[in-house]
Amino acid sequence: MPYSISIDSDLGLVLVKAEGVFTTHDLMESREQVQSDPRYRPGFNHLADLRQVTRFEPGTGDIRVRTQRDFGDRQLDDSLIAIVADNDYIFGMARIYESLMDGAPVTVRTFREMCAAHAWLGLPAEDTTAG
């Protein structure tokens, strides 16, 4: 599996770390996997670490489909979603998702550095997601 999901109930945080080839199937499946985890609660913040992705296969149409699913997902209400990507293409795709989510009851921001995402999410500066 090219991604892993960690849920920290104390921090109210879902961490998705992806590496290698990230497919359209992975993009769609990851949300379902998170929501089926018994530790997950609506309103948890999300941190997607895409810095180790070498190839990102979803296109703009796939991003639009994901946006349509997420825009109406009441479990995301009042959540923050931080996406960290240092690759220009992946960063751009994340920015498309961010712009399409404008107006949703969830706030999405894209970052190039993990420390900025941690600060925005109100997480400690050190890597609290290790493990």
Distance of CA 5 to CAs 8, 28, 32, 85, 104, Å?
A: 10, 14, 11, 17, 24
Predicted confidence at residue 75, as pLDDT, reads 82
CA distance 34 to 119: 23
The pTM of this model reads 0.91
**Is pLDDT at 131 greater than 60 in this prediction?**
no
Domain layout of the chain by residue ranges: 3-121
**Is pLDDT at 1 greater than 70 in this prediction?**
no
Tokens 């600060």, residue?
Answer: 119
3-121: CATH topology is Transcription Regulator spoIIAA (3.30.750)
**Is pLDDT at 38 greater than 60 in this prediction?**
yes
Residue 128's pLDDT band (cuts 50, 70, 90): very low
What pLDDT digit, counting tens, does each position of 54-105 carry?
999 999 999 999 888 888 778 888 999 999 999 999 999 999 999 999 999 9
